[in-house]
A and B are shown apart, each in its own frame.
Chain A
Protein backbone atom coordinates (compact mmCIF):
# COMPACT_ATOMS: atom_id res chain seq x y z
CA UNK A 1 0.00 0.00 0.00
CA UNK A 2 1.60 3.19 -1.13
CA UNK A 3 1.08 6.51 0.66
CA UNK A 4 -0.47 7.86 -2.51
CA UNK A 5 -3.33 5.40 -2.14
CA UNK A 6 -4.03 6.89 1.23
CA UNK A 7 -3.99 10.39 -0.22
CA UNK A 8 -6.25 9.41 -3.09
CA UNK A 9 -8.67 7.22 -1.19
CA UNK A 10 -8.84 8.15 2.49
CA UNK A 11 -7.84 11.82 2.61
CA UNK A 12 -10.82 13.05 0.53
CA UNK A 13 -13.17 11.64 3.18
CA UNK A 14 -11.47 13.04 6.26
CA UNK A 15 -14.09 15.75 6.69
CA UNK A 16 -16.91 13.23 6.45
CA UNK A 17 -15.12 10.96 8.90
CA UNK A 18 -14.51 13.74 11.38
CA UNK A 19 -18.04 15.07 11.15
CA UNK A 20 -19.43 11.61 11.81
CA UNK A 21 -17.01 11.05 14.71
CA UNK A 22 -17.88 14.45 16.12
CA UNK A 23 -21.59 13.72 16.05
CA UNK A 24 -21.03 10.32 17.63
CA UNK A 25 -18.80 11.56 20.42
CA UNK A 26 -20.34 15.03 20.72
CA UNK A 27 -17.01 16.66 21.48
CA UNK A 28 -13.89 17.63 19.57
CA UNK A 29 -11.25 15.91 21.69
CA UNK A 30 -12.84 12.45 21.53
CA UNK A 31 -13.67 12.90 17.87
CA UNK A 32 -10.03 13.63 17.12
CA UNK A 33 -8.84 10.61 19.08
CA UNK A 34 -11.34 8.36 17.35
CA UNK A 35 -10.43 9.65 13.93
CA UNK A 36 -6.74 9.29 14.51
CA UNK A 37 -7.19 5.66 15.53
CA UNK A 38 -9.60 5.09 12.68
CA UNK A 39 -7.21 6.54 10.12
CA UNK A 40 -4.48 4.19 11.25
CA UNK A 41 -6.84 1.26 10.99
CA UNK A 42 -7.96 2.47 7.59
CA UNK A 43 -4.35 2.37 6.47
CA UNK A 44 -4.08 -1.18 7.65
CA UNK A 45 -7.35 -2.26 6.04
CA UNK A 46 -6.86 -0.37 2.81
CA UNK A 47 -6.19 -3.57 0.85
CA UNK A 48 -9.62 -4.83 1.94
CA UNK A 49 -11.32 -1.99 0.07
CA UNK A 50 -12.44 -3.43 -3.22
CA UNK A 51 -13.37 -0.76 -5.73
CA UNK A 52 -16.32 0.33 -3.61
CA UNK A 53 -16.96 3.85 -2.49
CA UNK A 54 -14.37 4.64 0.17
CA UNK A 55 -16.59 6.93 2.22
CA UNK A 56 -18.98 4.36 3.76
CA UNK A 57 -16.02 2.06 4.22
CA UNK A 58 -14.13 4.71 6.17
CA UNK A 59 -17.20 5.71 8.17
CA UNK A 60 -17.74 2.09 9.16
CA UNK A 61 -14.16 2.03 10.46
CA UNK A 62 -14.81 5.21 12.41
CA UNK A 63 -17.90 3.66 13.95
CA UNK A 64 -16.14 0.43 14.89
CA UNK A 65 -13.26 2.37 16.36
CA UNK A 66 -15.59 4.40 18.51
CA UNK A 67 -17.54 1.41 19.76
CA UNK A 68 -14.26 -0.37 20.38
CA UNK A 69 -13.07 2.47 22.57
CA UNK A 70 -16.33 2.59 24.47
CA UNK A 71 -16.17 -1.12 25.12
CA UNK A 72 -12.60 -0.78 26.35
CA UNK A 73 -13.55 2.05 28.66
CA UNK A 74 -16.44 -0.10 29.83
CA UNK A 75 -18.49 3.00 30.27
CA UNK A 76 -21.13 3.44 27.65
CA UNK A 77 -23.33 5.80 29.52
CA UNK A 78 -20.52 8.22 30.18
CA UNK A 79 -19.89 8.77 26.51
CA UNK A 80 -23.59 8.98 25.82
CA UNK A 81 -24.16 11.77 28.26
CA UNK A 82 -21.70 14.51 27.52
CA UNK A 83 -24.13 17.31 27.46
CA UNK A 84 -22.04 20.38 27.37
CA UNK A 85 -18.55 20.53 25.81
CA UNK A 86 -20.52 21.93 22.94
CA UNK A 87 -18.90 24.99 21.64
CA UNK A 88 -21.26 27.71 20.65
CA UNK A 89 -20.02 28.43 17.21
CA UNK A 90 -21.78 31.35 15.74
CA UNK A 91 -22.51 31.49 12.08
CA UNK A 92 -20.98 34.73 10.93
CA UNK A 93 -22.22 34.33 7.41
CA UNK A 94 -25.48 36.09 8.07
CA UNK A 95 -26.48 39.65 8.64
CA UNK A 96 -27.31 40.69 12.20
CA UNK A 97 -31.06 40.41 11.84
CA UNK A 98 -30.92 37.02 10.18
CA UNK A 99 -28.47 35.87 12.84
CA UNK A 100 -31.01 36.02 15.62
CA UNK A 101 -33.58 33.99 13.77
CA UNK A 102 -31.20 31.50 12.27
CA UNK A 103 -29.08 30.97 15.31
CA UNK A 104 -31.85 30.05 17.61
CA UNK A 105 -33.15 27.55 15.16
CA UNK A 106 -29.80 25.97 14.44
CA UNK A 107 -29.03 25.64 18.13
CA UNK A 108 -32.39 24.13 18.85
CA UNK A 109 -32.00 21.65 16.03
CA UNK A 110 -28.49 20.78 17.10
CA UNK A 111 -29.55 20.27 20.68
CA UNK A 112 -32.47 18.14 19.56
CA UNK A 113 -30.24 15.93 17.42
CA UNK A 114 -27.67 15.62 20.19
CA UNK A 115 -30.38 14.53 22.57
CA UNK A 116 -31.25 11.54 20.39
CA UNK A 117 -29.95 8.09 21.30
CA UNK A 118 -26.84 7.36 19.27
CA UNK A 119 -28.56 4.82 16.97
CA UNK A 120 -31.01 7.51 15.93
CA UNK A 121 -28.47 10.30 15.87
CA UNK A 122 -26.16 8.53 13.49
CA UNK A 123 -28.80 7.71 10.89
CA UNK A 124 -29.87 11.36 10.86
CA UNK A 125 -26.30 12.57 10.45
CA UNK A 126 -25.41 10.01 7.81
CA UNK A 127 -28.56 10.70 5.86
CA UNK A 128 -28.94 14.46 6.14
CA UNK A 129 -25.37 15.69 6.47
CA UNK A 130 -23.62 13.03 4.43
CA UNK A 131 -26.46 12.37 2.02
CA UNK A 132 -25.75 8.65 2.08
CA UNK A 133 -28.15 6.08 0.68
CA UNK A 134 -30.03 3.70 2.98
CA UNK A 135 -27.85 0.94 1.58
CA UNK A 136 -24.64 2.68 2.60
CA UNK A 137 -26.01 3.59 6.02
CA UNK A 138 -27.06 -0.02 6.53
CA UNK A 139 -23.53 -1.15 5.65
CA UNK A 140 -21.94 1.35 8.04
CA UNK A 141 -24.22 0.58 10.97
CA UNK A 142 -24.24 -3.14 10.24
CA UNK A 143 -28.03 -3.42 10.21
CA UNK A 144 -30.62 -4.32 7.55
CA UNK A 145 -32.00 -1.54 5.33
CA UNK A 146 -35.41 -1.95 6.96
CA UNK A 147 -33.84 -1.06 10.29
CA UNK A 148 -32.28 2.07 8.80
CA UNK A 149 -35.72 3.05 7.56
CA UNK A 150 -37.44 2.53 10.89
CA UNK A 151 -34.66 4.26 12.83
CA UNK A 152 -34.83 7.27 10.55
CA UNK A 153 -38.57 7.34 10.92
CA UNK A 154 -38.44 7.20 14.70
CA UNK A 155 -35.59 9.70 14.84
CA UNK A 156 -37.58 12.17 12.79
CA UNK A 157 -40.70 11.64 14.87
CA UNK A 158 -38.66 12.48 17.96
CA UNK A 159 -37.09 15.52 16.39
CA UNK A 160 -40.49 16.74 15.27
CA UNK A 161 -41.88 16.22 18.75
CA UNK A 162 -39.05 18.30 20.23
CA UNK A 163 -38.84 21.00 17.60
CA UNK A 164 -42.50 21.59 16.96
CA UNK A 165 -43.02 22.41 20.61
CA UNK A 166 -39.67 24.10 21.22
CA UNK A 167 -40.07 27.57 22.63
CA UNK A 168 -37.70 30.46 22.02
CA UNK A 169 -37.18 30.90 25.76
CA UNK A 170 -35.37 27.59 25.85
CA UNK A 171 -38.14 25.93 27.81
CA UNK A 172 -38.39 23.09 25.30
CA UNK A 173 -36.59 19.77 25.27
Chain B
Protein backbone atom coordinates (compact mmCIF):
# COMPACT_ATOMS: atom_id res chain seq x y z
CA UNK B 1 0.00 0.00 0.00
CA UNK B 2 1.41 3.39 -0.93
CA UNK B 3 1.19 6.58 1.03
CA UNK B 4 -1.61 8.04 -1.05
CA UNK B 5 -3.82 5.02 -0.54
CA UNK B 6 -3.03 4.84 3.16
CA UNK B 7 -3.74 8.52 3.71
CA UNK B 8 -7.17 8.03 2.19
CA UNK B 9 -7.93 5.29 4.71
CA UNK B 10 -6.36 6.85 7.79
CA UNK B 11 -9.61 8.12 9.27
CA UNK B 12 -11.42 4.85 8.80
CA UNK B 13 -8.35 3.21 10.31
CA UNK B 14 -8.37 5.29 13.50
CA UNK B 15 -12.16 4.93 13.67
CA UNK B 16 -11.90 1.16 13.52
CA UNK B 17 -14.06 1.11 10.43
CA UNK B 18 -11.82 -0.93 8.14
CA UNK B 19 -12.08 -4.64 7.50
CA UNK B 20 -9.32 -6.56 9.28
CA UNK B 21 -7.33 -7.24 6.12
CA UNK B 22 -7.40 -3.60 5.05
CA UNK B 23 -6.54 -2.40 8.55
CA UNK B 24 -3.54 -4.72 8.54
CA UNK B 25 -2.34 -3.22 5.23
CA UNK B 26 -2.65 0.29 6.62
CA UNK B 27 -0.87 -0.74 9.83
CA UNK B 28 1.96 -2.21 7.76
CA UNK B 29 2.32 0.98 5.81
CA UNK B 30 2.23 3.19 8.90
CA UNK B 31 4.99 1.13 10.44
CA UNK B 32 7.42 2.38 7.83
CA UNK B 33 5.96 5.81 7.08
CA UNK B 34 6.65 8.66 9.51
CA UNK B 35 4.22 10.93 7.69
CA UNK B 36 1.26 8.59 8.06
CA UNK B 37 2.30 7.86 11.63
CA UNK B 38 2.06 11.57 12.22
CA UNK B 39 -1.42 11.61 10.67
CA UNK B 40 -2.55 8.90 13.03
CA UNK B 41 -0.98 10.64 16.03
CA UNK B 42 -2.68 13.92 15.15
CA UNK B 43 -6.04 12.24 14.91
CA UNK B 44 -5.55 10.50 18.20
CA UNK B 45 -4.70 13.85 19.73
CA UNK B 46 -7.77 15.44 18.19
CA UNK B 47 -10.29 12.75 19.14
CA UNK B 48 -10.43 13.28 22.91
CA UNK B 49 -10.42 17.05 22.39
CA UNK B 50 -13.48 16.90 20.18
CA UNK B 51 -15.16 14.45 22.54
CA UNK B 52 -14.68 16.89 25.38
CA UNK B 53 -17.06 19.34 23.69
CA UNK B 54 -20.34 20.05 25.43
CA UNK B 55 -23.07 17.55 24.87
CA UNK B 56 -26.39 19.36 24.61
CA UNK B 57 -28.99 17.29 26.40
CA UNK B 58 -32.64 17.95 25.61
CA UNK B 59 -34.08 20.51 28.06
CA UNK B 60 -36.73 19.11 30.38
CA UNK B 61 -39.39 21.53 29.13
CA UNK B 62 -38.80 20.31 25.58
CA UNK B 63 -39.21 16.71 26.66
CA UNK B 64 -42.42 17.70 28.39
CA UNK B 65 -43.69 19.57 25.32
CA UNK B 66 -42.98 16.61 23.09
CA UNK B 67 -44.56 14.17 25.51
CA UNK B 68 -47.65 16.36 25.61
CA UNK B 69 -47.81 16.44 21.81
CA UNK B 70 -47.89 12.69 21.41
CA UNK B 71 -51.30 11.25 20.70
CA UNK B 72 -53.33 10.46 23.78
CA UNK B 73 -55.99 7.82 23.50
CA UNK B 74 -59.32 9.69 23.51
CA UNK B 75 -62.01 7.91 25.39
CA UNK B 76 -65.17 9.81 24.70
CA UNK B 77 -66.92 6.56 23.77
CA UNK B 78 -66.84 3.68 26.13
CA UNK B 79 -66.66 1.18 23.34
CA UNK B 80 -63.63 2.89 21.92
CA UNK B 81 -61.97 2.96 25.31
CA UNK B 82 -62.50 -0.72 25.67
CA UNK B 83 -61.04 -1.36 22.25
CA UNK B 84 -58.04 0.81 23.04
CA UNK B 85 -57.51 -1.07 26.28
CA UNK B 86 -57.56 -4.33 24.42
CA UNK B 87 -55.09 -3.04 21.86
CA UNK B 88 -52.71 -1.96 24.59
CA UNK B 89 -52.97 -5.32 26.30
CA UNK B 90 -52.13 -7.05 23.05
CA UNK B 91 -49.14 -4.83 22.29
CA UNK B 92 -47.84 -5.03 25.87
CA UNK B 93 -46.70 -8.58 25.21
CA UNK B 94 -44.68 -7.33 22.27
CA UNK B 95 -43.37 -4.39 24.27
CA UNK B 96 -41.63 -6.73 26.70
CA UNK B 97 -39.60 -8.16 23.85
CA UNK B 98 -38.85 -4.70 22.50
CA UNK B 99 -37.73 -3.54 25.93
CA UNK B 100 -35.43 -6.53 26.35
CA UNK B 101 -33.82 -5.72 23.01
CA UNK B 102 -33.38 -2.09 23.96
CA UNK B 103 -31.88 -3.07 27.30
CA UNK B 104 -29.34 -5.24 25.50
CA UNK B 105 -28.57 -2.46 23.01
CA UNK B 106 -28.26 0.16 25.74
CA UNK B 107 -25.92 -2.06 27.74
CA UNK B 108 -23.76 -2.67 24.70
CA UNK B 109 -23.63 1.04 23.90
CA UNK B 110 -22.66 1.87 27.46
CA UNK B 111 -20.00 -0.86 27.49
CA UNK B 112 -18.49 0.61 24.33
CA UNK B 113 -18.50 4.05 25.91
CA UNK B 114 -16.82 2.72 29.04
CA UNK B 115 -14.04 1.24 26.94
CA UNK B 116 -13.63 4.43 24.90
CA UNK B 117 -13.27 6.54 28.00
CA UNK B 118 -10.86 4.08 29.56
CA UNK B 119 -8.66 4.12 26.47
CA UNK B 120 -8.86 7.91 26.22
CA UNK B 121 -7.76 8.17 29.86
CA UNK B 122 -4.86 5.80 29.28
CA UNK B 123 -3.77 7.92 26.34
CA UNK B 124 -4.17 11.23 28.11
CA UNK B 125 -1.49 12.93 30.11
CA UNK B 126 -3.81 13.32 33.08
CA UNK B 127 -5.56 10.04 33.81
CA UNK B 128 -6.66 11.52 37.12
CA UNK B 129 -7.59 14.94 38.39
CA UNK B 130 -7.00 14.00 42.00
CA UNK B 131 -3.95 11.89 42.61
CA UNK B 132 -3.97 10.08 45.91
CA UNK B 133 -3.88 6.57 47.30
CA UNK B 134 -6.09 7.61 50.20
CA UNK B 135 -9.83 7.12 50.04
CA UNK B 136 -10.12 10.00 52.52
CA UNK B 137 -8.67 12.35 49.92
CA UNK B 138 -10.30 10.93 46.82
CA UNK B 139 -13.87 10.57 48.08
CA UNK B 140 -14.24 14.17 49.38
CA UNK B 141 -12.65 15.46 46.18
CA UNK B 142 -15.84 14.52 44.33
CA UNK B 143 -17.95 16.70 46.61
CA UNK B 144 -19.60 19.49 44.71
CA UNK B 145 -18.56 17.97 41.40
CA UNK B 146 -21.24 15.31 41.22
CA UNK B 147 -24.75 14.98 42.57
CA UNK B 148 -23.93 11.69 44.26
CA UNK B 149 -21.10 10.39 46.38
CA UNK B 150 -19.18 7.46 44.92
CA UNK B 151 -17.94 4.65 47.17
CA UNK B 152 -14.15 4.72 47.33
CA UNK B 153 -11.85 2.18 48.96
CA UNK B 154 -8.13 1.77 48.95
CA UNK B 155 -7.45 -1.84 48.07
CA UNK B 156 -3.65 -1.84 48.27
CA UNK B 157 -3.85 -4.45 51.02
CA UNK B 158 -5.22 -6.90 48.49
CA UNK B 159 -2.95 -5.83 45.67
CA UNK B 160 -5.06 -3.14 43.97
CA UNK B 161 -3.65 0.22 45.08
CA UNK B 162 -5.82 3.27 44.49
CA UNK B 163 -4.14 5.86 42.26
CA UNK B 164 -6.71 8.64 42.17
CA UNK B 165 -9.91 9.79 40.52
CA UNK B 166 -11.44 12.10 37.98
CA UNK B 167 -14.80 13.20 36.68
CA UNK B 168 -15.58 11.57 33.36
CA UNK B 169 -18.57 11.28 31.04
CA UNK B 170 -20.22 7.96 30.22
CA UNK B 171 -23.44 7.71 28.27
CA UNK B 172 -23.64 11.52 28.37
CA UNK B 173 -23.79 11.56 32.17
CA UNK B 174 -21.11 12.82 34.48
CA UNK B 175 -19.62 9.95 36.37
CA UNK B 176 -16.94 9.39 38.98
CA UNK B 177 -13.92 7.55 37.65
CA UNK B 178 -11.72 5.78 40.20
CA UNK B 179 -8.32 4.65 39.05
CA UNK B 180 -6.70 1.52 40.46
CA UNK B 181 -3.62 -0.43 39.56
CA UNK B 182 -2.49 -4.02 39.50
CA UNK B 183 1.10 -4.52 38.44
CA UNK B 184 1.35 -2.56 35.17
CA UNK B 185 -2.40 -2.71 34.50
CA UNK B 186 -4.70 0.20 35.11
CA UNK B 187 -8.28 -0.39 36.22
CA UNK B 188 -10.91 2.30 35.82
CA UNK B 189 -14.11 2.10 37.83
CA UNK B 190 -16.91 4.32 36.55
CA UNK B 191 -19.62 5.10 39.09
CA UNK B 192 -22.94 6.79 38.38
CA UNK B 193 -26.49 6.73 39.71
CA UNK B 194 -28.25 3.70 38.30
CA UNK B 195 -30.74 4.80 35.66
CA UNK B 196 -32.26 1.51 34.72
CA UNK B 197 -32.66 0.55 31.10
CA UNK B 198 -29.45 -1.47 31.15
CA UNK B 199 -28.72 -5.00 32.33
CA UNK B 200 -28.19 -5.26 36.10
CA UNK B 201 -24.94 -7.13 35.66
CA UNK B 202 -22.76 -7.68 32.67
CA UNK B 203 -19.40 -9.19 31.83
CA UNK B 204 -17.78 -8.76 28.49
CA UNK B 205 -14.52 -8.78 26.65
CA UNK B 206 -13.91 -6.16 23.97
CA UNK B 207 -10.73 -5.94 21.92
CA UNK B 208 -8.60 -7.45 24.63
CA UNK B 209 -10.14 -5.43 27.44
CA UNK B 210 -12.36 -6.88 30.15
CA UNK B 211 -15.41 -5.16 31.52
CA UNK B 212 -17.62 -5.92 34.46
CA UNK B 213 -20.79 -4.08 35.32
CA UNK B 214 -22.77 -4.37 38.51
CA UNK B 215 -25.21 -2.47 40.68
CA UNK B 216 -24.29 -1.42 44.18
CA UNK B 217 -27.12 0.07 46.23
CA UNK B 218 -28.60 2.51 43.69
CA UNK B 219 -25.31 3.06 41.88
CA UNK B 220 -24.19 1.59 38.62
CA UNK B 221 -20.53 0.56 38.43
CA UNK B 222 -18.36 -0.43 35.51
CA UNK B 223 -14.85 -1.80 35.96
CA UNK B 224 -12.65 -1.92 32.86
CA UNK B 225 -9.07 -2.99 32.35
CA UNK B 226 -6.71 -4.98 30.17
CA UNK B 227 -6.26 -7.19 33.20
CA UNK B 228 -7.42 -10.80 32.72
CA UNK B 229 -11.02 -11.51 33.61
CA UNK B 230 -10.19 -13.64 36.64
CA UNK B 231 -8.25 -10.86 38.32
CA UNK B 232 -10.80 -8.26 37.36
CA UNK B 233 -13.48 -10.43 38.99
CA UNK B 234 -11.24 -10.62 42.05
CA UNK B 235 -10.95 -6.84 42.00
CA UNK B 236 -14.71 -6.37 41.81
CA UNK B 237 -15.18 -8.72 44.72
CA UNK B 238 -12.56 -6.91 46.80
CA UNK B 239 -14.09 -3.55 45.95
CA UNK B 240 -17.57 -4.71 46.86
CA UNK B 241 -16.59 -6.18 50.21
CA UNK B 242 -14.59 -3.06 51.07
CA UNK B 243 -17.38 -0.58 50.39
CA UNK B 244 -20.29 -2.64 51.65
List the interface of chain A (C-beta within 8 A of B). Answer: 1-9, 11-12, 14-15, 17-19, 22-23, 28, 31-32, 35-36, 39-40, 43, 53, 89, 92-95, 98, 102, 105-106, 109-110, 113, 124, 127-129, 131, 133-134, 149-150, 152-153, 156, 159-160, 163-164
Contact = CB atoms under 8 A, between A and B. Distances in A.
Given A4-B91, A153-B11, A18 B50 contact: no
Interface in B53-86: 53-59, 62-63, 65-67, 69-73
A2 B88 contact: yes
A124 B174 CA distance: 21
A18 B65 CA distance: 13
A79 B216 CA distance: 47
B112 A131 contact: yes
A129 B129 contact: no
A101 B146 CA distance: 20
B58 A15 contact: yes
Contact of B46 (A14, A110, A156): A156
B145 A93 contact: yes
Interface residues of B, number: 53
Interface string B24-47: 000000000000000000110011
A43 B91 contact: no
Given A3-B70, A159-B50, A15 B98 contact: no
Contacts of B10: 153
B243 interface: no
Contact of B71 (A1, A8, A19, A93): A1
B59 A160 contact: no
B73 A128 contact: no
B51 A6 contact: no
A19 B56 contact: yes
A14 B106 contact: no
B87 A93 contact: no
B116 A131 contact: yes
B197 interface: yes
A129 B174 contact: no
Shortest beta-carbon contacts, A-B, top 5: A18-B58, A22-B56, A39-B66, A14-B58, A93-B167
B62 A35 contact: yes
Given A3-B73, A43-B70, A98-B129, A149 B49 contact: no
B55 A40 contact: no
B140 to A, nearest CB: 13
A94 B12 contact: no
Nearest to B52: A106
Contacts of B146: 93
Contact of B102 (A1, A2, A12, A43): A12
B229 interface: no
